[in-house]
A and B are shown apart, each in its own frame.
Chain A
Amino acid sequence: KAGVTQTPRYLIKTRGQQVTLSCSPISGHRSVSWYQQTPGQGLQFLFEYFSETQRNKGNFPGRFSGRQFSNSRSEMNVSTLELGDSALYLCASSLEGGGEQYFGPGTRLTVT
């Protein structure tokens, strides 16, 4: 089976802009979670989508949002970008949400 894919791999944006990141889970996986990785804060949970519904949410401001489509693909959107949003954004998929999660290669977002 193909693994989790994320597009784009690298992105450079300017403060105030918005960005959309995409994630395609492993075939058959219905749960998609998003994480932010930064040197200062480490790996932090953003949110999880299951069957097109947000099921869990981390402690991030409302500028961070997401959605999931009927084919389980997910997108994450960040509006009004700030310098502190520069990070590696990782997507992970799992069958039902519990147990192990499989991660994609990540999208490296740089905000200037």
Chain B
Amino acid sequence: AQSVTQLDSQVPVFEEAPVELRCNYSSSVSVYLFWYVQYPNQGLQLLLKYLSGSTLVESINGFEAEFNKSQTSFHLRKPSVHISDTAEYFCAVSALQTGTASKLTFGTGTRLQVTL
């Protein structure tokens, strides 16, 4: 079984400041890793994914995350946040096993609040 820990339930930050949202996972098998973002009254939008290859993955809107296998982490970072980044961010994992890779296990979410 997999589990995900997002230690920070809320992260307040000023606009244009850098931010890091932490994610640690536990799994006895190899995993896929994801970050999803949820805006109020909406579904989840895929922000980043790590499936294989380079451990540093980037999104089109300036977010990046680095897969660290030894520390079982997949922290999300952005060097300069914008007001529009205010949302709930979820880290998720799925097992790298045929037939079970569809089951996403989510963390409890981190509320990013960007203010002027």
Chain A residues packing against B (C-beta within 8 Å) = 4, 6, 31, 33, 35, 42-45, 48, 50, 55-56, 58, 90, 92, 94, 97-106
Chain B residues packing against A (C-beta within 8 Å) = 32, 34, 36, 42-46, 49, 51, 90, 92, 94, 96, 98-109
User: How far in angstroms is the closest Cβ of chain B from A1?
Assistant: 14
Please determine whether B101 and A99 come into contact, CB atoms closer than 8 angstroms: yes
Q: Which residue of A lies closest to B99 (CB)?
A: A55
Which of A31, A90, A94 lies in contact with B44, CB distance below 8 A?
A90
Please determine whether A99 and B104 come into contact, CB atoms closer than 8 angstroms: no
Main SS class of interface, A: strand
Complex-state Cα separation, A59 to B101, whole angstroms: 17
Complex-state Cα separation, A101 to B46, whole angstroms: 8
Please determine whether B51 and A56 come into contact, CB atoms closer than 8 angstroms: no
Which of B42, B49, B102 lies in contact with A56, CB distance below 8 A?
B102
Please determine whether B32 and A98 come into contact, CB atoms closer than 8 angstroms: yes
User: How far in angstroms is the closest Cβ of chain B from A79?
Assistant: 23
Query: 4 shortest A-B CB distances, which residue pairs?
Result: A98-B101, A97-B102, A43-B106, A103-B43
Please determine whether A101 and B102 come into contact, CB atoms closer than 8 angstroms: yes
Known: A33-B102, A45-B104, A98-B102. 17 other contacts (CB 8 A): A6-B43, A33-B104, A42-B107, A42-B109, A43-B90, A43-B92, A48-B102, A50-B102, A90-B43, A90-B44, A92-B44, A92-B104, A98-B32, A99-B51, A100-B49, A101-B102, A102-B46
